[in-house]
Amino acid sequence: MPDEFILRALAAGIGVALIAGPLGCFVVWRRMAYFGDSLAHSALLGIALGLLYGININLGTVIVCTLFALLLVWLQHRRVLATDTLLGILAHAALSIGMVALSFLDNARFDLYSYLFGDILTVRFSDLYWIYGGGMVVIGLLVLNWSSLTLMTIHEDLARAEGVNTVWSNILLMLLMTIVVAVSIRIVGILLITSMLIIPAATARQLVTSPENMAIWAAILGLLAVLGGISGSIEFDTPSGPSIVTAAAVMFALFSVIGALRRRGVTIK
């Protein structure tokens, strides 16, 4: 019988994989990887405020990341600067302010390394409530808005002509990413969260063509990455977050080679 902390780690990893995979498809399709990174960087400010004021870290992260996303949308509509420039300014400002805020804390109160790179083996039952509670919200909203989000991804003008509120859909997508970032911090850490969104989805893209199948396969591949990463972390005593991402990267490389060989074979025929 596995130890209790391993079972909690598996439950947490499965929960994150199931929500990050489908949502990651939209991140890949809409080329939002840089936004995901920026959002993850802003999460450090949420962690710092949570520790400073004694509120739940996940709640603090959701609040700060939501404000980050809304501020970005507002600045985009004001056409102050290009989006990538705004993301760079906001992300690094939030990251720096978070680091300054953390400097006011007693070092014994937090482990910066675990927040940056994750430590799934230290997940508590309270973290599982956040992961699966947030996961149900994300999956539910994705299912309800799947058609409009997919249509907007294919062609935004066409979606607008079909009556889709593209502004709300963009905000919704950002808020869903906010929830995933908040619940994933303990799993893979701030610096690696985006990898759980894009690597399984990018791998699944090489296997299937339809959006629905890609979402399903992204979740499955994310789950396999979690299982492989945790097993490797326990077996070789390596950091759990980077081990999970490494497993996902290995699968991406493997399927890339298989896909290239398959395409070459089709060409020869």
Q: What is the mean pLDDT of residues 6-24?
A: 93
Rounded CA gap, 200 and 17, in Å?
Answer: 9
Q: How much is the pLDDT for 266?
A: 55
The pLDDT tens digits for 148-202 are 999 998 888 888 888 889 888 988 999 999 999 988 988 888 889 999 999 999 9
Q: Is residue 47 within 8 Å of residue 115, measured between CB atoms?
A: yes
What domains are there in the chain, each with its CATH number? 4-264 (1.10.3470.10)
For residue 263, what are the contacts with CB-CB under 8 A and spacing of at least 6?
none
For residue 17, what are the contacts with CB-CB under 8 A and spacing of at least 6?
196, 200, 219, 222, 223, 225, 226
- Look at residues 122, 142, 175 and name the one whose alpha carbon lies nearest to residue 13: 122
Q: For tokens 């089709």, name the residue.
A: 266
Mean pLDDT of the chain, nearest integer: 89
For 22-51, letters b (16+ CB in 10 Å) and e give bbbbbbbbeebbebbbbbbbbbbbbbbbbb
**Rounded to two decimals, what is the model's pTM?**
0.90
Rounded CA gap, 218 and 229, in Å?
Answer: 16
Rounded CA gap, 42 and 182, in Å?
Answer: 10
Q: Does position 106 have pLDDT exceeding 90, yes or no?
A: no
Q: What is the mean pLDDT of residues 119-126?
A: 87
Burial of 218 (0-12, 13-18, 19+ CB in 10 A): buried
> How many CB atoms are closer than 10 A to CB 219?
24
SS (H, E, C) 232-259: HHHHHCCCHHHHHHHHHHHHHHHHHHHH
Percent of the chain whose pLDDT exceeds 90:
52
